Amino acid sequence: MVIEMPMSQQETKIKPTHDIRIFTGRANPELAGEIADYLGTNVGPMVIKNFSDGEIYVQIQESIRGDDVFIVQPLCDPNKSLVELLIMIDAFKRASAQSITAVIPYYAYARQDRKAAGREAISAKLVADLLTTAGADRILAMDLHTGQIQGFFNILVDHIYAAPILIKYIKEKKFRSDIVVVSPDAGGVERARAYAKKLNAPLAIVDKRRQAHNIAEVENLIGDVRRKTAILVDDMIDTAGTITEAAKLLIKEGATEVYVCAAHPLFSGPALERLENSPIKEVIVTNTLPLKQNVPQKIVQLSIANLLGEAIARIHDDESVSSLFD
């Protein structure tokens, strides 16, 4: 289910502006429609189709000359959606758009941000180069796996967070006990600390050792979760191995309940089955990515459309985006 969680300062829709244009690829058109509704406009008409050999064809169906164009395209099914985004950017550049902002709620390849072993590619940097070369003037991204990815670009990057939406939902819950915010690994401590500060809660850390790609082993817990409701915080849920093993450890260590908050619901491979069979009470995610059909009832999806819409409006009006999170 999708739950609309408008931020308090965003209750009134912004007046339409003639030169702010929202377009979308095929990755998440529902999200683009919600963003357009918030901005008081419509998603622009386009033809996007595949030729018989799989090549992607894009044609813009109206003039966008001199307009500020915002293309909404999360990189789910990344190989297809990335190429589609690159072709769309090129089409808008050749159609004389005033500016082109790629709105990428989920940035794929972000976990390949360094060489962890010999002869590996740094794919996150390659994707940044491709987007820039295609003609994007600016990037609007949400919850990048590591903030340093902003430095891979030679164009402006606005990095925003789903935290206000997720934290608002948590604050409105009626928990049976005090809460503790838990990072599922050492790399997510900064993120979890920010949640803990906003929720006025203590912090705990799960010690995770990664044996291979998509295989992690939970070892120890740093912090006290006894008789507390544990809120596990991560940027994404992929195969759900880390999250579900961490939840089992927290219950073993005396937590009364376990909830999970994450921006990006990738839910690949055995993720849904693992979440369904885990001790997790509720999995709270956003609609940066569309959910698959027949997801477990414990999965709650919140809309980030208003937050993205506000960021787009501020970019268009040359106002501060970072002040959204002050």
Q: Please give the positions annotated as active site.
A: 208
Strand 282-286 and strand 299-303: pairing? parallel
Q: Which two tokens stand for residue 2?
A: 């999708």
Cβ-contact 261, 298 below 8 angstroms: no
Give 191's contacts (C-beta < 8 A, 6+ positions apart). 183, 233, 234, 235
Cβ-contact 304, 324 below 8 angstroms: no
Rounded to the nearest 5°, which phi and psi values hold at 186? -65, -30
- Closest by alpha carbon to 45, among 33, 27, 28? 33
- Contacts by 76-79, CB closer than 8 A, 24 or more apart: 76/27, 76/28, 76/106, 76/108, 76/266, 76/289, 76/290, 77/27, 78/108, 78/109
Cβ-contact 263, 235 below 8 angstroms: yes
Distance CA 20, CA 42 (A): 10
Q: Which two tokens stand for residue 267?
A: 């839910």
The distance of Cα 30 from the centroid of its chain, to the nearest Å, equals 15
Phi-psi group of 5: left, alpha or beta (phi > 0 → left; psi -120 to 50 → alpha; rest → beta): beta
Which whole-number Å values give the CA distances from 278 to 72, 227, 241, 244, 266, in the listed order? 33, 19, 10, 6, 17
Give 174's contacts (C-beta < 8 A, 6+ positions apart). none
